[in-house]
Structure 1
Amino acid sequence: MAEANPMLSLDALTFASGRAALEQGLAAIAAGETVFDLGGVKAADSTGVAVMLAWQRRALAAGQRLSFIHVPANVHSLARLYGVDGLLPGS
């Protein structure tokens, strides 16, 4: 398994930060990252779930599958609510 990418500059996965987070994650995927450590994320909303799904979709298109660790509890809850928790391994 690849070493976790701490995504250090991500402190939020919200509507306000979604585009920047998406781009940062896509760049990490292009660089070969497959484990995203979201431990630095202190604020998240449904945008976070959408961004994580977009990252997973891009990784799958590249023949990879992402894992997420230290996902904020509210993102876990939202993913379950939306029925997509199975699409976000480790979430």
Structure 2
Amino acid sequence: MSATTMLKLPDAVRMDDAPALWKRLEAGLRAEAAQVRSAAGQQVEIRLAELQAFDSAALTLLLSAARLCKAEGVQLVLHDVPAKLRELARVYGVAELLWPEAAPAQLV
């Protein structure tokens, strides 16, 4: 974990909540990325432990967050990811975008 404050998602993320939540998350991500870079860090972290109710909007937010972090020159790291969210990401085929360790092993 970095020396900076870890961002977190609320207990519910639904399609109706996504636009307002993204505005807050985007501002937090940009501020956190700037702080991390100024401390020679490489990771921005989001805690998902409180996330209980969600739909595919949660994946959209996290993918947008990962894209923004990449553009800011830092890596997004997700903590305390609910198993149901990991499964939803796998079903939608985006798990490896959020958790690179989820990518299938390459045959050499």
Q: TM-score, normalised by structure 2?
A: 0.72
1:14 alignment counterpart: 14
Higher helix share: 2
Equivalent position of 1:28 in the other structure: 28
SS in 1 for 2:75: coil
**Which has the higher mean CA deviation after the structures are superposed, 59-68 or 71-80?**
71-80
The alignment of Structure 1 onto Structure 2 pairs a total of residues equal to 90
Which of the residues 56, 60, 69 maps onto 1:50? 60
Q: Structure 1 residue runs of 4+, over 6 Å off? A: none
Aligned with 1:40: secondary structure?
coil
- Deviation digits for residues 31-85 of structure 1, max 9, x if unmatched? 1250000111121111111110001111111111101111222211111011111
Normalised to the residue count of structure 1, the TM-score between the two structures is: 0.83
Cα separation, 2, equivalents of 1:45 and 1:72: 12
- The 1-side partners of 2:67 and 2:17 are apart by 19
Structure 1 stretches of 5 or more lacking a match? none
